Amino acid sequence: MQAFDCAIVGAGPAGMSAALALTQGGADVIVLDRADRAGGQIYRSASSSPLPDAASLGPDYAAGADLITRFERSGAKHLAGADAWHIGDDGRILFSYQGDTRELHCREMLLCPGAMERPMPIPGWTLPGVMTAGAAQVMLKSDAVVADGAVFAGSGPLLYLIVAQYLRLGVRVAALVDTTPRRHYLDAAPLLPRAWRQVGQLRKGLSLLREIRAAGVDTYRYAENLEVIGEETAKGLRFSISGQPHEVSADTVFLHHGVQPNLNMTRAMGLAHHWNNAQMCWQVTVDEFGQSAISHVSVAGDGAGIVGADGACAAGRVVAQNMLYHLGRVSRTGRDRNSHADLYYLSSMKPFRRFIDCLYRPTEALRLPRDTETLVCRCEEQSLGDLRAGFEQGARDPNALKSLTRCGMGPCQGRQCGHVVTGLLAQWRKESPDAVGYYRLRSPQRLLTVDELGRYNTIPAEAAK
């Protein structure tokens, strides 16, 4: 069967940038993306924003519109609404498209699954009206929908960005509850001189904080012991600062505690992963060119480790050069020459990344639940108490705990609870997350119907021409 030169899963910054470089290098490229339009989460709807003035979302978002336009004109075949659910180490990809199951084969494969927000399993986090800051951005970017008078709680650049974007649009924000511990500022201070090399990135963050202060938003710093108020729906947020209790009333609470790579695609392939202690998450093991232990499989963007939009674009271009080298379209020397600037940029970003990782390191109190009634697995409604009982019955690793409690067996396949389960078992076993491990995942990576499986088609490489 004839194969595509390259197949890319995911049309975010990394996937689009890689597709541009690959098509410029003469490769036949197909890009699968579950969204209706290219852009990923960061550049969602950047080229077709429903907002009257998309400039309110900032210059970085506006830059995404240009990347999307260039990608759409690149010559790469783009299948929007294509949801990949099996990635084979034999170069085969199975995906859902327009109600059918489709299959394609490729010589080189690039996975760009992106990132997902870290769960914040505090009491009440599953109540209606409680969402993530990323959900606030999805509603804003996709449908121009906002939540007036919401509370934003947590820490990190994304949280401050969405608050600033709300304010620019004239949307009322009830409060910003910042959970960054005081000690983190002291821990991160020694890393600031080297991070200052990326002064532009630091200025962006500082400008967001100044913008929020200038707007007069009630801001609470060093918040602890967060709890969503409400019985049937969210009614606000309760927390403490230096032992002093506080409450803020609101019908919508947005939580954010950083992002982590979306692992299911790379885990289901059986790729090697390692624990990133700085970012407190698992990430796939790849070399500087994004290549995994499987010679024709690469990973780029936040799915390979959190690097941000600019870093994802650079990583996508680097991986593309390595794939062109594998295809015999550039020499090894040409690959290294073409990748030099992007590799240098990625290297220069590391001190800044270390500073950010230290400053906004997820705290155990917000990363792991404390109340025995707090749900850990939302799909199967398994609480902290249920999981502890499973552990006491002898389930010492994530897969054993899954078998005993069904935690991680729901439709999300552990995306929400996986890191929490690893963290809890590490705490109970008094061992490292590396020693505990993660769920064993398999295809399919989404729910399928028998009817869909019965409608089966193959996408030939000629379709890319």
Domains of the chain plus CATH, in order, are 4-116+261-330 (3.50.50.60), 121-256 (3.50.50.60), 368-431 (1.10.10.1100)
pLDDT of residue 324: 98
Closest CA to 178 of 248, 117, 235, 234: 248
Strands 219-220 and 281-284: unpaired
What is the tens place of the pLDDT at every residue in 375-392?
A: 999 999 999 999 999 999
Helix axes 13-24, 59-72, angle to 10 degrees: 40
Alpha carbon distance 228, 223 (integer Å): 13
pLDDT of residue 462: 66
What is the tens place of the pLDDT at every residue in 63-87?
A: 899 999 999 999 999 999 999 999 9
What is the tens place of the pLDDT at every residue in 127-147?
A: 999 999 999 999 999 999 999
What is the tens place of the pLDDT at every residue in 99-137?
A: 899 999 999 999 999 999 999 999 999 999 999 999 999
pLDDT of residue 465: 47
How far apart, in Å, are the Cα atoms of 52 and each of 59, 141, 240, 331?
A: 15, 11, 39, 47
Alpha carbon distance 244, 18 (integer Å): 51
How far apart, in Å, are the Cα atoms of 389 and each of 272, 382, 384, 385, 420?
A: 30, 11, 9, 6, 16
What is the tens place of the pLDDT at every residue in 394-425?
A: 999 999 999 999 999 999 999 999 999 999 99
Alpha carbon distance 223, 462 (integer Å): 57
pLDDT of residue 2: 64
